[in-house]
Structure 1
Amino acid sequence: MPLPGQISVAINSYVSWERSEDIRKMVSDNVPTSQHHGAPKHGDALLAGLIRCRRCGRKLTVRYTGAKHDIPRYSCWRGLLDNGEPRCIAFGGLRVDDAIERALLQVLEPGAIAASVEAEAQAADRRDQVRDVLMRDLEAARYAADRAFRQYDAADPQNRLVAAELETRWNRALTRAGEVEARIVAHDASTAHPALPSLKDIDGLASDLEAVWNAPQSDARLKKRIVRTLIQEVVADIDHDASEIVLLIHWVGGVHTDLRLPRRRKGQRNSTSADIIAAVRELVLIANDDLIAGILNRNGLVTGHGNRWTRERVTALRSHHRIPVFRTVADGPAPWLNLSQAARHIGVASKTLRIAAEAGEIKGIHPLPEGPWIFCRTELDGSAAHHLAKRARQNPKYPTGSHPDQQTLFSSTT
């Protein structure tokens, strides 16, 4: 409603008063101040203009780092820039944005199907405004033609001048109606009417909302508008003792959500797991990089970036962590043996040696569940291995394996 003293209907306006107020509010909100969030921009940071420092109350600024300048980082710089105060907090934005996305999708998913059904109903009820105007013109033209016909039919035939004029008007009205009909036909031919998706298709789209959100075609500005529609503000702080990022989400409805995220240190996000590095250190004792890559993939392990392992990636991992490369011994016995080689060395079956290693009777290394066993030659020359071989020869429950001179058709690493 207009304020006292304002005249809202002095002249004809292009938009309604309510629409004008909405535009004015949108323009005011797009001004980046402490009270407004600012206009959504193309950057990937979801909380730009929404996140506030818990310590000083100022809004956090966004900087993009990385080789391609695509990694957001939230920092409290306003105190330093304006008053020379120490910087309050700063942390990487990738993990924070991921947590906000998960919280947002959890809120949206319960109403996603209902929203999709409503969207289909609105699309089904939406009419072609141009065709509606043409149909009204056609109705008026037909009415004018019918009225002209009635006037012509009621005229006195002996009054030729009046009859000729009425006939001319009737013909013009019929021509006008024909022109409008032709325009409608041309409009229908030029306007494509795509088939609306069924409720089943839209339900499937709503249930896969996360995939739609993470699609490369999704606009960052649209995501930010959705975030600002549901989230009023996010207050951030850092717990140095627990090494965590503390977030307090203020939803528009008045509900608050607390989130605590582990603080990401430099290089932590895309680093390879320490367990994988330890496994590679042990696998290089008996396997080359190509074979190690296959073993890692067999166990379902991926790199820090989520990629499958290849020989080149294993080589890069070794070089970065200074892990020595596997080399075959040119002269002399190999110091490390796999399961089949170790079983052949002490004269027992591979199954017998594996059972003994699992029971702890013989020391062996098993880095991965779906990977090879690794045995030290010194351990195999000890008393435990000799006792196992002797027991296997005396007890039929422990097979001694094949003849040591028998060669295998396929080489094995297990």
Structure 2
Amino acid sequence: MVENPVYGGAYAYGRTAVATGYGVHGAGAKIRRKARAEWLVLKPDVHEGYVNWERFEAIRTMVSSNVPTSRHHGAPKHGEALLAGLIRCRRCGRKLTLRYSGMKHHIPRYSCSRGWMDNGEPRCIAFGGLRVDDAIEGALLGVVGPGAVAAATAAAAQATHQRDQVREALGRDLEAARYAADRAFRQYDTADPANRLVAAELETRWNRSLARVVEVESKIAAHDATTAPTAIDPTMLSVLASDLKSIWSGPTIDARLKKRIVRTLIHEVVADIDDEASEIVLVVHWAGGAHSEMRLPKRRRGQRNSTSGDIIAAIRQLVLIASDDLIAGLLNRNGLKTGNGNRWTRERVTTTRSYHRIPVFRRAEDSVEPWLNLSDAARLIKVASKTLRLAAEAGQIDAVHPLPDGPWIFARAALTTDAATSITERARQNPRYPAGSHPDQQSLFSSTT
């Protein structure tokens, strides 16, 4: 109904045509809709419509834009994928179709529709959408972030200025209404009461002026009663702008709102796959006319939620002196999580270590450990633990410190070098830290200082 010209008060004729169609029963007549340029008659403003013609055209454009076609993005849906209707194949120019997979049907995947929808041929390109959406999200927040504080402050100032302008305009209207009422009263007061027609007319004008004063005063009272815009603290805005990632990822943010923001800033994204480099190539066409290219590694299935490489490197070093149970405690104490955001346990450390083929920690059969923690290494060269730690921090002896709040790891071979001997000699010459005065630190967790 909202697309019918009658809704906008127009008369239209010749909107359809009869065409010959072929079905299971042979040839037959089929009615098809014509394009507007082919209509025989279209006369706007012929009769009273539900809305005016301009409003009808705006509604028609909106409805047309909400239909996902090759020209329009379509209305944003409830799905989590940010680029639905925005991403296009660079090889054939078609829009990429979107499918959700996974146990909860929340993992998007973009694929080209050429081939499997036409001739059963292989698709042009296909790739997972999680990595792509994360990259677009980071680029979007990077664009919005620097101007967030300035935009919010300018918006608040503009709202306050507009409110003050309305108040000033109402004040001028009230002044004019009171002047008109006073003038009408003076005219009525000077009139001859015997002339009833003149006196009645002047009294009517005076009453009309008084009603106008009351009307303007009620508008001013209603304007003053409305809640004034709250003053925005620039400091709080700075904190808000620096934490846009948390706000964007908040559980209360609707996916449709995110998509509307993306479509406001991004006109289109053209995607391709560099098979030689195994990368996803994205060309982002921003709304302002600028273009930027992004290259993302094409990952394997499930690789997005894999454990960070830094954590894997830390586990590879910690197994030199610690068991899986101790490693899990050290990772948790440093606030590190698994790829799925879980706390570390002995079983998870064991699974991660086995997947990356990291050998398990085993004590030496002859009790001569090739790798030592800080307290054992200090006891071996007979210096205080603090002395050895300061030497390791200064780079005077080779040592490994995988975690900020974790143990130092020393190779036994490094403790027999001239550097270790020099540290021992200096410790003996320092009366504040005599040899052997260091505390006996047996715990791995207390060996970080």
- Which of 204, 210, 221 is 2:256 aligned to? 221
What residue is the counterpart of 1:183 in the other structure? Answer: 218
Whole-angstrom distance in 1 between the partners of 2:426 and 2:158: 76
- Which of 293, 312, 317 is 1:258 aligned to? 293
SS of residue matched to 2:132 = helix
Whole-angstrom distance in 1 between the partners of 2:389 and 2:221: 84
1:217-256 equivalence runs, <5 A: 218-252=253-287, 254-256=289-291
Q: Is 2:336 the partner of 1:302? A: yes
Give percent identity, aligned residues only.
53
Cα-Cα RMSD: 5.4
Task: From the superposition, tell whether residues 332 and 104 of structure 1 become closer, same or farther in structure 2 (CA, over 3 Å).
Answer: closer
Task: Write out per-residue CA displacement over residues 7-52 of structure 1, whole angstroms, 9 at most, x where no aligned residue.
Answer: 5555677877666544433322221112221112233322111111
Q: Is 2:68 the partner of 1:32? A: yes
What residue is the counterpart of 2:32 in the other structure? Answer: none
What residue is the counterpart of 1:270 in the other structure? Answer: 305
Count of matched residue positions in the alignment of Structure 1 and Structure 2: 396
Whole-angstrom distance in 2 between the partners of 1:270 and 1:107: 26
- Which of 87, 96, 103 is 2:132 aligned to? 96
What residue is the counterpart of 2:19 in the other structure? Answer: none
SS of residue matched to 1:61 = strand
Task: Write out per-residue CA displacement over residues 242-261 of structure 1, whole angstroms, 9 at most, x where no aligned residue.
Answer: 11001123344554432211
- Which one has a larger percent strand, Structure 1 or Structure 2? 2
Unaligned runs of 5+ in 2: 1-9, 11-35
Task: Write out per-residue CA displacement over residues 93-123 of structure 1, whole angstroms, 9 at most, x where no aligned residue.
Answer: 2221232234445555676677556634642
Partner amino acid, structure 1, of 2:256? R
Whole-angstrom distance in 2 between the partners of 1:171 and 1:46: 63
Task: From the superposition, tell whether residues 369 and 38 of structure 1 become closer, same or farther in structure 2 (CA, over 3 Å).
Answer: closer
Task: From the superposition, tell whether residues 325 and 192 of structure 1 become closer, same or farther in structure 2 (CA, over 3 Å).
Answer: same
Q: TM-score, normalised by structure 2?
A: 0.64
Tell whether the 8 Å contact from 1:62 to 1:72 is kept in structure 2 after alignment. yes
SS of residue matched to 2:304 = coil
Task: From the superposition, tell whether residues 10 and 408 of structure 1 become closer, same or farther in structure 2 (CA, over 3 Å).
Answer: same
Deviation of 1:233 after TM superposition, in Å, equals 2.3
Deviation of 1:59 after TM superposition, in Å, equals 1.3
Task: Write out per-residue CA displacement over residues 49-104 of structure 1, whole angstroms, 9 at most, x where no aligned residue.
Answer: 11112233321122233454433221224642454332332212222123223444
What residue is the counterpart of 2:373 in the other structure? Answer: 338
Q: Is 2:74 the partner of 1:74? A: no
Q: Is 2:314 the partner of 1:279? A: yes
Tell whether the 8 Å contact from 1:235 to 1:249 is kept in structure 2 after alignment. yes
Tell whether the 8 Å contact from 2:174 to 2:217 is kept in structure 1 after alignment. no
- Which of 335, 344, 353 is 1:321 aligned to? 353
Whole-angstrom distance in 2 between the partners of 1:133 and 1:15: 31
SS of residue matched to 1:233 = strand
Partner amino acid, structure 2, of 1:194? P
Higher RCO, Cα 8 Å, sep 6+:
1
Deviation of 1:133 after TM superposition, in Å, equals 11
Whole-angstrom distance in 2 between the partners of 1:413 and 1:130: 69
Whole-angstrom distance in 1 between the partners of 2:189 and 2:381: 121
SS of residue matched to 1:126 = helix
Q: Is 2:446 the partner of 1:408? A: no
Partner amino acid, structure 1, of 2:440? T
Task: From the superposition, tell whether residues 42 and 290 of structure 1 become closer, same or farther in structure 2 (CA, over 3 Å).
Answer: same
Task: Write out per-residue CA displacement over residues 319-343 of structure 1, whole angstroms, 9 at most, x where no aligned residue.
Answer: 44347887999x9958564343355
Tell whether the 8 Å contact from 1:155 to 1:162 is kept in structure 2 after alignment. no
Task: From the superposition, tell whether residues 8 and 156 of structure 1 become closer, same or farther in structure 2 (CA, over 3 Å).
Answer: same
SS of residue matched to 1:41 = coil
Whole-angstrom distance in 1 between the partners of 2:167 and 2:421: 94
Task: From the superposition, tell whether residues 281 and 232 of structure 1 become closer, same or farther in structure 2 (CA, over 3 Å).
Answer: closer
SS of residue matched to 1:80 = coil
What residue is the counterpart of 1:64 in the other structure? Answer: 100
Tell whether the 8 Å contact from 1:116 to 1:206 is kept in structure 2 after alignment. no
1:29-178 equivalence runs, <5 A: 29-77=65-113, 79-108=115-144, 119-120=155-156, 122-126=158-162, 145=181, 149-150=185-186, 152-158=188-194, 169=204, 172-173=207-208, 176-177=211-212
Task: From the superposition, tell whether residues 269 and 232 of structure 1 become closer, same or farther in structure 2 (CA, over 3 Å).
Answer: same
Unaligned runs of 5+ in 1: none
Tell whether the 8 Å contact from 1:212 to 1:218 is kept in structure 2 after alignment. no
Whole-angstrom distance in 2 between the partners of 1:156 and 1:275: 100
